[in-house]
Structure formats: C-alpha cells, structure tokens
Chains A and B, each alone.
Chain A
Amino acid sequence: MLKIGKIHEGFVLDHIKAGKSLSIYHHLQLDKKDCTVAMIMNAKSEKMGKKDILKVECDIEEMDMDVLAVIDHNITVNVIKDGEIVAKKELVLPKEIRNIYKCKNPRCISSIEQELPQIFVLDEKKEIYRCKYCEEKTRQEL
C-alpha cells in the first residue's frame, strides 16, 4: 500500500466519499494557500468500502469549515499538532451559506438581479438548503 508520512501541524480530513477530495481541495481554496497537501484517493475503508483522505499542513483556523460541512458533514476532521491527533472537529451544517450554491429556479428574483448575493438557508429538519428568496431547495452537489 502507498505510504504517506505524518504531518507535523495541520489537519487530516478522513472518511471523504471516494472521488470527492479534489472538489474539497478546490472549495477550501488549498491551491491558493502556501501549504503542503497530500491527497489519497480510493483508499480501502471498512466503513465505506472506498474513501478519500486529505492531509493538509497548515493552521486549521485558516480553513472554511462551513464549506466542508456543506460538502459532507460526515467527514472526520482530525487536528494535528506535533505529529499527533489533538482534537477531532465536529462539522456542523451552517445555518446560512453565501455564494456557494447558485439558485437554479428561473422564477427566482436572483435569476434576474445578478448583484444579489446567493444566500441559502438550512432547513434543519430535512438537512437541505433552500434559497433565501424563493425557498426552492438546491439539488446541486459540491
């Protein structure tokens, strides 16, 4: 099996749905940050069959955990300090997200007024996001 070494300080995202890590890499804007990233794809997992893992060497405070929660709040976030796991961060779906999804409802006011921020509000019962303006639920996957 492919071996990737420990990271000293940063975080490890485990239990990513297989094939999703590249999307997470882009949504967390890791390409724009000065940090080392290891992406492990299609690793064997007892729980999931196959999974992806992301190891990122940077301060966790710099990361937008809201986006991560929206992509998949079942991802495990391990915080690493001095090469050891010091904490596990729980991902909570944010109540409101801005400019991540775009409303696809052609009857929505945001379809004609381009300057409006794309705001989606969490429907907590159903764990789905609805457009703040027209309440249409989003079906987009990040």
Chain B
Amino acid sequence: MRHLMSPLDFSVEELDRLFDLANDIEKNREKYSHACVGKKLATCFYEPSTRTRLSFESAMLSLGGEVLGFSDAASSSAAKGESVSDTIRMISCYSDICAMRHPKEGAPMVASTHSRIPVINAGDGGHQHPTQTLTDLLTIRSLKGRLSDFTIGLCGDLKFGRTVHSLINALSRYDNIKFVFVSPEELRIPEYIIDNLKEKNIPYEEVISLEEVMPKLDLLYMTRVQRERFFNEEDYVRLKDFYILNKEKMVLAKDDMLVLHPLPRVNEISVEVDDDPRAVYFKQVQYGVYVRMALILTLLEIDTTKL
C-alpha cells in the first residue's frame, strides 16, 4: 500500500505513468466512470479548502465512487481532542482511501503510519501540497507535450509560496530547465532552494522586473503578492504593479508561452488576460481533477487495463 506525502514520492517514471493515465481519462471519461464503484473516498479537512476538497470529491464521483468526510476541524472529533492517528484508524474502517488537509505540518504523514488505507496529503500547513504540484506538472506536460527544455519564470511571493517550492523541486528532476525567479527583494526565493539548484548545476537567475524577462519565458507561474508580506506600505505600492500580469506585459511574451497560477488569484492577473489562449489557469483546475482521478486509481491499485 502506498501513500502520497510529497511530490517526490513518485519517481519520474511513475509520474509519467500517472500522467499517461490522467491523459487517457481526459480523452475517455466514460471508460473510467465506473472504475471506483463501491469505493469510498474520505476527505478529512481539518481546515477549510473548498477548491482542493471539491476537486478530490469531483475526482472520486467521476470514477463512480462515493465520498464522505468533514470540511473543518470543528465538525470533526479533533474538536474533542482526538489525535490524528486515532481518527485515521476510524476512517480506515469507513472508507477505502483518504485525502487529508491539516494546518499542522506532518499530520498526514502521522496518519499514514497508522492507516490501513492509502492517505493522500491534501496540504499540510506550509509544508507540502503534492496534488497541486502534480496538477502543475500534468498541465505543463499536457499542453506542451514535455516536462524538459523550458525556461520557466516564477513570479510573486517566492519566499513563502509552498506551491512554488514544490514545483521547483519537482521540475529539477527534468533535463534542461532554467528558472527565472521574479520577486521583490523581500520575497526572494529561500537560500536553501538556490543551494539545491547550485548543487545540481541547474541554471537560474533572480530579477525584480517581470517585463524584462517576459520575452524569454516558455512558462510563467504566477503567485499572489500579499500586502501583509511587506515591511511598509510604500514598498508595497511601489512594487505591486510589477507583479500584475496584464495585456501590455503579455504582448512581450512568446506566442506559445503558458501562464499558470495555483489559484485563487486576487488581482495579480488582470481579468483581461483570461481570454488570452496562453492563460491556462482555469484549464489547470480541470487537470487537477484528472490527476486526482489518476492518483486515486493508482493508489487503490485498480487494474485500468480491464476497464
């Protein structure tokens, strides 16, 4: 039995198989619509995350399975002081697979060590959110046809952005990737990530202005720059427009560049960009469902050749 705690739990070859399955699901929805009949997914969300929870539930329902669970700690036994390990022992009796979101880092890992069913980490504090990374990778692979030979710009809050850190780690395993980190000084990428890139001889550059690097990017991964991350209002006002993607900046980009965003967006991508064919952040949401479907099938060890 396998669990998914970090995007690096799967080898590159295993990810390829997972993404092939996700792409097959995309093309043949009907074929998979009864793959999980009689199976139940428990969504144990100790903090609210509507998008991730609905994505998991949609994935299981699309496979013909059923869902049960809770969407915040107050409505679970955690409010009465039950430990994660006790909760998962109980959930193991009620369901066949579990997706767990928890504000405390490592909680899904603790659950996995006491579980009789596969556990998927659906986000644990600032630590890991592997299905977001799988979503990002599947989106890139599906729309570009590869996961190597890219110059990828990551823009916005690179200091605290968990999705950014995971994506960098995941893409570092592929050939010929060049990273361009676009952020204000206050929100620069952490030193330990730079050290990892240096160790592996992976090229990178750090810049402050998005406009100056737009022409060379094959992919642009946008994140939100939050006001509260700045030390003073003056810096925020000075820098915030640097990181708002609008039509003018898109003019500078390659014709086949893709814009991704883990969502929710606030104002960092102007709505006028939504109609640009290069803006794929809503397609990304759809790929999130496909990759979760493929993940559920894989962890439940369902033989898809017989479908």
Contacts and interface: CB of A to CB of B under 8 A. Distances in A.
A116 interface: yes
Given A115-B83, A133-B105, A134-B105, A109 B126 contact: no
A117 to B, nearest CB: 10
A109 B106 CA distance: 6
A50 to B, nearest CB: 33
B259 to A, nearest CB: 30
Contacts of B109: 109, 132-133
Nearest to B105: A134
Nearest to A105: B105
Contact of B127 (A110, A111, A112, A134): A134
Contacts of B107: 109, 133
Contacts, number: 44
A75 to B, nearest CB: 28
B186 to A, nearest CB: 21
A115 B84 CA distance: 11
A123 to B, nearest CB: 11
Interface centre among A110, A131, A132, A133 (most CB of B within 10 A): A133
B19 to A, nearest CB: 26
A109 B84 CA distance: 9
Contacts of A116: 110
A111 B83 contact: no
B102 interface: yes
A62 B102 CA distance: 42
Given A107-B125, A107-B126, A133 B83 contact: no
Interface in B103-123: 103-107, 109-110
Given A113-B84, A134-B125, A135-B106, 8 more contacts: A107-B104, A108-B105, A108-B106, A109-B102, A109-B107, A109-B124, A112-B104, A134-B106
Interface of A: 105, 107-113, 115-116, 131-136
Interface of B: 83-85, 102-107, 109-110, 124-127
